[in-house]
């Protein structure tokens, strides 16, 4: 007898699970363990219908932008993600999942999802002691308040492993920065979407706090000084 899929669970029960998007980009197990630690009922799925029905979505990933986008498009997950964003579903992008949420990545010269305006650039470093990829623990400095980043204090460090970094065309969407020779944006937010370059699932206590915050977040956020918005992303068509 086959095991129940997330679509079976969604169709047969009144509760709705958190969906961890499975698009062959790895790192799913550690995300699921972090969800379990904070009491999030999370399931893996690569099915577009599950994406559009889930209460909240975690969009993780490690690997290359080109292969990630091919996998998303072949499965119809690019369209499903845009539909979920437009409907107001809270979405958390992690590492590669965050990078392919922008418009373009220099990695493999890849057109990406366009959920947030901007591009992903390769590090070009001058200090020989700094290596690519950027790997290890580094301080995250919050620049704009956001419910998912609540409780992150000065000096709190998160785990990074990446050779590319996001550069948004809309400064109001930059939530936090990290220094690696120069400051780069390491967390982005727009409406009901938030993405992190760092790996909260590999960041111990402070990372679990971020998952706890995401579990409580209703998807409503506004940049400092802006009117509240929810869903209806002008990039998600």
What CATH number does the domain containing 47 carry? 3.40.50.880
Q: Residue 228: inside a domain, yes or no?
A: no
Contact 201, 55 (CB under 8 A): no
- Domain of residue 212 covers 6-216
Q: Residue 25: inside a domain, yes or no?
A: yes
Consecutive 10-residue runs of the chain (237 residues): their mean pLDDT?
42 62 89 95 95 96 94 97 97 97 97 96 89 93 97 96 93 95 95 98 97 97 68 42
Is 76 exposed, middle or buried, given 0-12, 13-18 or 19+ CB atoms closer than 10 A?
middle
Q: How many domains does the chain have?
A: 1
The pair phi, psi for residue 224, each rounded to 5°, is: -55, 125
Q: Residue 229: inside a domain, yes or no?
A: no
State the catalytic residues.
Answer: 95, 199, 201
Q: Residue 227: inside a domain, yes or no?
A: no
Compute the distance between CA of residue 214 and CA of residue 84 in angstroms, rounded to an integer.
16
Q: Residue 88: inside a domain, yes or no?
A: yes
The pair phi, psi for residue 68, each rounded to 5°, is: -65, -45
pLDDT for 16 equals 46
Of the candidates 13, 15, 196, the one whose C-alpha atom is nearest the C-alpha of residue 94 is 196
The angle formed by the CA atoms of residues 55, 59 and 63, to the nearest 5 degrees, is: 165
Q: Residue 132: inside a domain, yes or no?
A: yes
Compute the distance between CA of residue 93 and CA of residue 194 in angstroms, rounded to an integer.
6
Q: Residue 168: inside a domain, yes or no?
A: yes
Output DSSP code: residue 232: -
Q: Residue 225: inside a domain, yes or no?
A: no
């Amino acid at each position: 007898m086959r095991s129940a899929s997330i679509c079976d669970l969604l169709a047969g029960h009144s509760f709705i699970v958190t969906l961890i998007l499975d698009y062959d980009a790895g790192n799913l197990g550690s995300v699921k363990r972090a969800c379990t630690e904070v009491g999030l009922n999370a399931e893996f799925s690569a099915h577009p219908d599950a994406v559009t029905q889930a209460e909240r979505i975690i969009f993780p990933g490690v690997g290359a932008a080109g292969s990630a986008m091919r996998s998303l498009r072949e499965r119809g997950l690019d369209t499903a993600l845009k539909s979920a964003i437009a409907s107001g579903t809270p979405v958390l992008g992690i590492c590669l999942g965050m990078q392919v949420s922008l418009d373009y990545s220099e990695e493999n010269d890849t057109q990406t999802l366009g959920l947030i305006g901007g591009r992903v650039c390769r590090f070009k470093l001058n200090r020989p002691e700094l290596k690519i990829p950027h790997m290890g623990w580094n301080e995250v400095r919050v620049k704009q308040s956001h419910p998912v980043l609540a409780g992150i204090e000065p000096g709190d460090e998160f785990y990074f492993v990446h050779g590319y970094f996001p550069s948004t065309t809309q400064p109001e969407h930059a939530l936090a920065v990290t220094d690696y020779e120069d400051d780069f944006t390491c967390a982005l937010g727009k409406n009901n979407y938030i993405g992190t370059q760092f790996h909260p699932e590999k960041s111990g206590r402070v990372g679990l706090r971020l998952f706890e915050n995401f579990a409580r977040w209703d998807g409503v956020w506004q940049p400092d000084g802006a009117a509240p918005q929810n869903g209806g992303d002008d990039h998600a068509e």
